[in-house]
Amino acid sequence: MGAEQHMLTAGSPAAPAAPAAAVSVRDGRNGRLVCPRQDGLLDRLRSFDVEVLLHDPLVTTARAARLGVEPVGVDDLCRRSDLVTVHAPALPETRHLLDARGPALLPEGAVVVDTARGSLVDTEALARACRTGAISAILDVTEPEPLPPDHPLLTLPNVLVTPHLAGAQGRELRRLGEVGRFVKGAPLLGRVEPEQLLYIA
**Residues of the chain falling short of pLDDT 50:** 1-7, 12-39
Distance CA 188, CA 85 (A): 30
Q: How far is CA 129 from CA 114, 124, 144, 164, in A?
A: 15, 9, 18, 22
Instruction: Residue 97: give its domain's CATH number.
Output: 3.40.50.720
Does 1 reside within a domain?
A: no
List the domain range (segments joined by +) for residue 121.
7-172
Does 191 reside within a domain?
A: no
User: For 129, which DSSP code?
Assistant: H
Please answer whether residues 126 and 141 qualify as being in contact, where contact means their C-beta atoms are separated by less than 8 angstroms.
Answer: no
List beta partners, residue 161. 139
Look over the chain and give the mean of its residue pLDDT values, rounded to a whole number: 75
How many C-beta neighbours within 10 Å does residue 153 have?
A: 20
pLDDT at 178: 74
Does 61 reside within a domain?
A: yes
Domain total of the chain: 1
In the residue annotation, 164 being an active-site residue is answered as: yes
Among residues 26, 85, 75, 74, the alpha carbon closest in space to that of 50 is found at 85
Distance CA 81, CA 79 (A): 6
* Backbone conformation region of residue 69, classed left if phi is above 0, alpha if psi is from -120 to 50, else beta: beta
In the residue annotation, 117 being an active-site residue is answered as: yes
pLDDT digits (tens, 9 = 90+) for 77-90: 888 888 888 877 88
pLDDT digits (tens, 9 = 90+) for 20-61: 233 333 333 333 333 333 335 566 666 777 788 888 777 788
Which among 46, 95, 101, 164 is annotated as catalytic? 164
pLDDT at 172: 63
Does 39 reside within a domain?
A: yes
Does 197 reside within a domain?
A: no
Does 198 reside within a domain?
A: no
pLDDT at 173: 59
Distance CA 130, CA 133 (A): 5
In the residue annotation, 195 being an active-site residue is answered as: no
Does 200 reside within a domain?
A: no
Distance CA 91, CA 198 (A): 8
pLDDT at 6: 39
Which among 101, 145, 151, 181 is annotated as catalytic? 145
Which among 51, 96, 117, 143 is annotated as catalytic? 117
Does 153 reside within a domain?
A: yes
